[in-house]
Structure 1
Amino acid sequence: MATIEDLKQLFQLQNETLATEFKSWLDLAVPAGRAPLAKAAIALANHGGGTIVIGMREAINTPIGSYPRPAQIGRYTADAINAAINKYADPHIHCDLVHLTHPASGNEHAIVIVPGGQIVPVMATKGTDGEILAQKVYIRKPGPKSEEPFTAEEWRTLLDRCVRANKDSLLEAIRGIVQGRSLDSLAREQIDELLKFTDDSRDSWKMRLVPLPKDDPARFPLGHYEQSFQILGVEPASGLRSLLENLRKASEVRLTGWGPFVLLERKPIGPVPVGEVIETWVGTPSEKARDGRHCDFWRARPDGFLYEVRSYDEDFTEKAEPGTSIDLTMPVWRIGETLLYVARLARLFGEDPEISVRIQYDGLKGRRMSALFDWRYLSYERECFVDTVKMQGQARASVIEDNLAEVLVSLLRPLYDAFDFAPLSPTMVSEEIAKFRNNRY
Structure 2
Amino acid sequence: MATIEDLKKLFQLQNETLATEFKSWLDLNIPAGRAPLAKAAIALANHGGGTIVIGMREANNAPIGSYPRPDQIGRYTADAVNAAINKYADPNIHCDLVHLTHPTSGNEHAIVVVPGGQIVPIMAAKGTDGEILAQKVYIRKPGPKSEEPFTAEEWRTLLDRCVRANRDSLLEAIRGIVQGRSLDSLAQAQIDELLKFTDASRDSWNTRLEPLPKDDPARFPFGHYEQSFQILGVRPASDLRSLLGNLRKAAEIRLTGWGPFVLLERKPIGPVPVGDVIEAWVGDPRERGRDGRHCDYWRARPDGLLYEIRSYDEDFTEKAEPGSSIDLTIPIWRIGETLLYVARLARLFGEDPEIAVRIQYDGLKGRRMAALFDWRYLSYDRECFVDTVKMQGQARASTIEDNLAEVLLPLLKPLYDAFDFAPLSESMVSEEIAKFRNNRY
> Fold match, TM over 0.5?
yes
Residue 313 (structure 2) aligns with? 313
1:263 aligns with 2:267: no
**Partner SS state of residue 333, structure 2:** helix
**Partner SS state of residue 433, structure 2:** helix
Deviation at 1:170?
8.9
**1:306-352 Cα deviation digits (max 9, x unpaired):** 00000000000010011000000000000000000000000000000
| Identity rate, percent | 81
Residue 212 (structure 1) aligns with? 212
- Matching of residues 105-254 of structure 1 within 5 Å: 174-176=170-172, 180-181=177-178, 182-184=180-182, 185-187=184-186, 188-254=188-254
TM-score, normalized by length of structure 1? 0.60
Question: How far apart, CA to CA, are the structure 2 residues paired with 1:239 and 1:171?
Answer: 44
Question: How far apart, CA to CA, are the structure 1 residues paired with 2:240 and 2:308?
Answer: 17
8 Å Cα contact 1:183/1:392 also seen in 2 = no
Deviation at 1:190?
2.2
1:398 aligns with 2:394: no
One-letter code aligned to 2:248: R
Change (3 A) 1:217 1:236: same
Question: How far apart, CA to CA, are the structure 1 residues paired with 2:406 and 2:426?
Answer: 7
8 Å Cα contact 2:177/2:395 also seen in 1 = no
- Matching of residues 73-92 of structure 1 within 5 Å: none
Question: How far apart, CA to CA, are the structure 1 residues paired with 2:197 and 2:190?
Answer: 11
1:434 aligns with 2:434: yes
Residue 335 (structure 2) aligns with? 335
**1:236-269 Cα deviation digits (max 9, x unpaired):** 0000000000000000000000000000000110
**1:205-241 Cα deviation digits (max 9, x unpaired):** 0000000000000000000000000000000000000
Deviation at 1:172?
5.7
Deviation at 1:192?
1.6
8 Å Cα contact 1:240/1:302 also seen in 2 = yes
One-letter code aligned to 2:273: P
Question: How far apart, CA to CA, are the structure 1 residues paired with 2:202 and 2:332?
Answer: 23
Residue 51 (structure 1) aligns with? none
Change (3 A) 1:369 1:399: same
Question: How far apart, CA to CA, are the structure 1 residues paired with 2:362 and 2:404?
Answer: 24
Listed as ranges, the gaps of 5+ residues in structure 2 are: 1-164
Residue 304 (structure 2) aligns with? 304
Question: How far apart, CA to CA, are the structure 2 residues paired with 1:291 and 1:231?
Answer: 32
**1:379-410 Cα deviation digits (max 9, x unpaired):** 11000000000011000000000010011011
Question: How far apart, CA to CA, are the structure 1 residues paired with 2:243 and 2:288?
Answer: 28
One-letter code aligned to 1:396: R
Deviation at 1:173?
5.7
8 Å Cα contact 1:408/1:429 also seen in 2 = yes
Residue 414 (structure 2) aligns with? 414
Residue 280 (structure 2) aligns with? 280
Question: How far apart, CA to CA, are the structure 2 residues paired with 1:336 and 1:177?
Answer: 20
8 Å Cα contact 1:183/1:410 also seen in 2 = no
Residue 119 (structure 2) aligns with? none
Listed as ranges, the gaps of 5+ residues in structure 1 are: 1-168
One-letter code aligned to 1:330: I
Question: How far apart, CA to CA, are the structure 2 residues paired with 1:172 and 1:434?
Answer: 21
**Partner SS state of residue 390, structure 1:** strand
**Partner SS state of residue 308, structure 2:** strand
8 Å Cα contact 2:254/2:440 also seen in 1 = no
Question: How far apart, CA to CA, are the structure 1 residues paired with 2:181 and 2:313?
Answer: 27
Question: How far apart, CA to CA, are the structure 2 residues paired with 1:440 and 1:220?
Answer: 28
Question: How far apart, CA to CA, are the structure 1 residues paired with 2:366 and 2:228?
Answer: 25
Deviation at 1:193?
1.2
Specify the structure having the higher radius of gyration (Cα).
2
TM-score, normalized by length of structure 2? 0.60
Question: How far apart, CA to CA, are the structure 1 residues paired with 2:190 and 2:326?
Answer: 30
Residue 102 (structure 1) aligns with? none
Question: How far apart, CA to CA, are the structure 1 residues paired with 2:243 and 2:177?
Answer: 31
Change (3 A) 1:440 1:244: closer
| Alignment RMSD (CA, Å) | 1.8
Deviation at 1:176?
3.7
Question: How far apart, CA to CA, are the structure 2 residues paired with 1:170 and 1:253?
Answer: 34
Question: How far apart, CA to CA, are the structure 2 residues paired with 1:290 and 1:177?
Answer: 45
Greater RCO structure (CA 8 Å; 6+ sep): 1
Residue 383 (structure 2) aligns with? 383
One-letter code aligned to 2:185: L
Question: How far apart, CA to CA, are the structure 2 residues paired with 1:218 and 1:287?
Answer: 11
**Partner SS state of residue 229, structure 1:** strand
**Partner SS state of residue 180, structure 1:** helix
**1:64-117 Cα deviation digits (max 9, x unpaired):** xxxxxxxxxxxxxxxxxxxxxxxxxxxxxxxxxxxxxxxxxxxxxxxxxxxxxx
**1:173-218 Cα deviation digits (max 9, x unpaired):** 6224665352425323322211100000000000000000000000
Change (3 A) 1:236 1:420: same
1:344 aligns with 2:353: no
**Partner SS state of residue 361, structure 1:** strand
One-letter code aligned to 1:295: C
**Partner SS state of residue 253, structure 2:** coil
- Matching of residues 2-21 of structure 1 within 5 Å: none
Change (3 A) 1:383 1:354: same
